[in-house]
Structure 1
Amino acid sequence: MKRDQPFLVCIVGPTAIGKTALSIKLASHFTTEIVSADSRQFFKEMKIGTAVPAEEELSQAKHHFIQHISIQDNYNVGKFENDAIAVLGDIFESNSKAILVGGSGLYHKAVTEGLVSFPEIPSGIRKKYNDILDTEGIERLQGLLLKKDPETYRTIEISNPRRLTRALEVLEVSGKSFSHFQNQNKKKRQFEVVKIGLYAPREVIYNRIEQRVDLMIGQGLVKEAKRLYPFRHFNALQTVGYKELFAYFDGELNLDQAISEIKKNTRRFAKRQLTWFKKDPDIQWFHFETPSEEIITHIKT
């Protein structure tokens, strides 16, 4: 059936699987623009460690939300939802198609379904979990979440302390899991959504991750992280690739250990990405080496 109304093509999958390359091919074919839903690539100071597309790639299609804010800006998924919907409205004024790409599942969901209404968190409860983080460390929060809300533990980025505290706060205030709120009713959008997922055997994903990390190190990730070290407590920098190098700068790890930790934590992140996306029955999965022409045919039908 031919699609006559605007539709958004969402490209998802684990890190380093080839989402950027596919998005550019689709954008070129449909002569449209790309909206990035990779929350790590929003920050202009974090280029190498977030695998921002190369200038040559960016020049092949117009991209939105790539390095558009600073790590010092107050930006969140709610603001992104509003901004992305506005940008898509502009794109759909002149084109019936748009591309949404990135591995941040919550940000995809914000655009396609809308954010849910979480309960207000009293300052005392927020302080409680921040104090646990400060005094007992992130491992304590991870243990609490695994025990109290294992479903959320399996899907969020557990290396991100803000995500951990948020999930625990919501659970304590409401008595309901973070996942419960994420599964609330969808918002009505003025466009169709076509979801494309890229997959590969686990060993292939892990090998591609290792190659990407080695490439980042060769491109100067250590120098980039060193420049950002004074801001290491910012939420944006609680990110794989930076926090391990901060530990190296603090003398907690040597460089080889830090690089090994980056690879290990990126593999874990990829596993959580797949866990999140595999729960969505609307995603049509393609092997990462599938010719783009075959995916385009699927989109058109």
Structure 2
Amino acid sequence: MSVATSGIERSGSKAGARRLEGAILIAGPTASGKSALALAIAERNGGVIVNADSMQVYSVLHVLTARPGAEELARASHWLYGHVDPAQAYSTGMWLRDVERLVGNGAISGRPVIFVGGTGLYFRALVEGIAEMPDIPAVIRNRWRAALHQKGAAALHEMLSLRDPAAGEQLRPTDGQRIVRALEVIDVSGRSILDWQAGVGRPLIDGLSARFIVVEPDRSELVARIEKRFDMMMEQGAFAEAERLGALGLDPMLPAMKAIGVRELLAAQMGKMTLDEAVQRAKTATRQYAKRQTTWFRHQLGPQWQRIAKAENGLKEA
């Protein structure tokens, strides 16, 4: 039975998590074919697929994030797709804790585990671990989210610089989400977020037995795939999906509202641009995002990562 949502309880800790052996990690830019590769490996090896894409976690965003469809879900078990409310600012730490719960409760035990996605920080967290951070009560999180919406990032950056000068110096005044996170942490713990981040994390996977693959397609081929895929998204209801998300009245600074295509299609809905203009801008944004992903993978992923030009080439040894 395929699982599109995790059904995970929001409790638990690292103490019960075991280190995964024989995991397969597949990274790559958007539209590179990495999800198809993961599915092929899962079918061949009887494996389970765990999402490592920060946008595919959100429940409303199905078409615009290219989440696996019903056919793919029927072919292999999928976890951590569409399990987060878009009103939530989901983080790398939250994702890693969700993976730890899957490992701890045996949900993905006994079969090869394939992590696939385009969020580099998720893969880094798997391989290196992540420092423990304090739990943030909802009332504090909501208060700072509201402050960000009402006062703006620059004003909150000034507050942070007074309370935590070191963190304020490291963060850009426009980086609202990270500024809010730093304010939340110092509110709850009385300690700088930098102190917490300096802690040593625990890797969740066994690096010696893991297989590391990063898909690096030819640029012209990737651009063509991006163009074709967004056209297919429009045929599959991307505009209506953006409308449904917009109708929730969420803070535009939330991560889900920043998914590529959402802002552009909502602008078309409000008459600020034509639909054709919105589509072209979304395609441009996707190409730019893919370039940033490729650059990050090139400079941040170490020599243990096998680099392949075509996703299907990674099936030979996996």
TM-score normalised per structure 2:
0.70
State whether residues 47 and 76 of structure 2, in contact with CA within 8 Å, keep that contact through their aligned partners in structure 1.
yes
Alignment deviations for residues 264-283 of structure 1 (CA, whole Å, 9 cap, x no partner): 11111111111221121132
Residues 206, 56 of structure 1: CA spacing in aligned structure 2 closer, same or farther, 3 A cutoff?
A: same
Aligned to 2:110: 94
Aligned to 1:266: 286
Aligned partner letter, 2:237: G
Aligned to 1:32: 47
Alignment partner of 1:200: what SS?
Answer: coil
Whole-angstrom distance in 1 between the partners of 2:29 and 2:69: 19
Residues 245, 31 of structure 1: CA spacing in aligned structure 2 closer, same or farther, 3 A cutoff?
A: same
Whole-angstrom distance in 1 between the partners of 2:285 and 2:94: 28
Aligned to 2:308: 286
Aligned to 2:57: 42
Structure 2, gaps ≥5 residues long: 1-19, 156-168, 186-190
Aligned to 1:51: 66
- Aligned pairs for 1:1-301 (under 5 A) are 6-73=21-88, 75-89=90-104, 90=106, 93-95=109-111, 97-116=112-131, 131-133=151-153, 162=177, 186-189=201-204, 191-192=206-207, 193-231=210-248, 233-234=250-251, 235=254, 236-278=256-298, 279-281=300-302, 282-296=304-318
Alignment partner of 1:21: what SS?
Answer: helix
Residues 160, 207 of structure 1: CA spacing in aligned structure 2 closer, same or farther, 3 A cutoff?
A: farther
Whole-angstrom distance in 1 between the partners of 2:22 and 2:107: 11
State whether residues 37 and 102 of structure 1, in contact with CA within 8 Å, keep that contact through their aligned partners in structure 2.
yes
Alignment partner of 1:85: what SS?
Answer: helix
Task: Give the superposition deviation at 1:190.
Answer: 5.3
State whether residues 13 and 103 of structure 1, in contact with CA within 8 Å, keep that contact through their aligned partners in structure 2.
yes
State whether residues 37 and 311 of structure 2, in contact with CA within 8 Å, keep that contact through their aligned partners in structure 1.
no
Alignment deviations for residues 140-185 of structure 1 (CA, whole Å, 9 cap, x no partner): xxxxxxxx87xx99xxxxx986368769999xx9898xxxx69x85
Residues 13, 190 of structure 1: CA spacing in aligned structure 2 closer, same or farther, 3 A cutoff?
A: closer
Alignment partner of 1:196: what SS?
Answer: strand
Alignment partner of 1:40: what SS?
Answer: coil
Aligned to 1:139: none
State whether residues 148 and 176 of structure 2, in contact with CA within 8 Å, keep that contact through their aligned partners in structure 1.
no
Whole-angstrom distance in 2 between the partners of 1:21 and 1:134: 42
Whole-angstrom distance in 2 between the partners of 1:273 and 1:285: 14
Residues 23, 231 of structure 1: CA spacing in aligned structure 2 closer, same or farther, 3 A cutoff?
A: same
Alignment partner of 2:114: what SS?
Answer: strand
Task: Give the superposition deviation at 1:188.
Answer: 3.6
TM-score normalised per structure 1:
0.74
Aligned partner letter, 1:200: P
State whether residues 231 and 237 of structure 1, in contact with CA within 8 Å, keep that contact through their aligned partners in structure 2.
no
Alignment deviations for residues 90-119 of structure 1 (CA, whole Å, 9 cap, x no partner): 256423x31101111122222332224689
Deviates further, 76-85 or 207-216: 76-85
Percent same amino acid among aligned pairs?
31
State whether residues 37 and 312 of structure 2, in contact with CA within 8 Å, keep that contact through their aligned partners in structure 1.
no
Alignment deviations for residues 119-154 of structure 1 (CA, whole Å, 9 cap, x no partner): 99x99x99689734599xxxxxxxxxxxx87xx99x
Q: CA RMSD in A?
A: 3.6
Whole-angstrom distance in 2 between the partners of 1:257 and 1:164: 33
Structure 1, gaps ≥5 residues long: 136-147, 154-158, 297-301
Alignment partner of 2:215: what SS?
Answer: strand
State whether residues 130 and 165 of structure 1, in contact with CA within 8 Å, keep that contact through their aligned partners in structure 2.
no
Task: Give the superposition deviation at 1:208.
Answer: 0.6
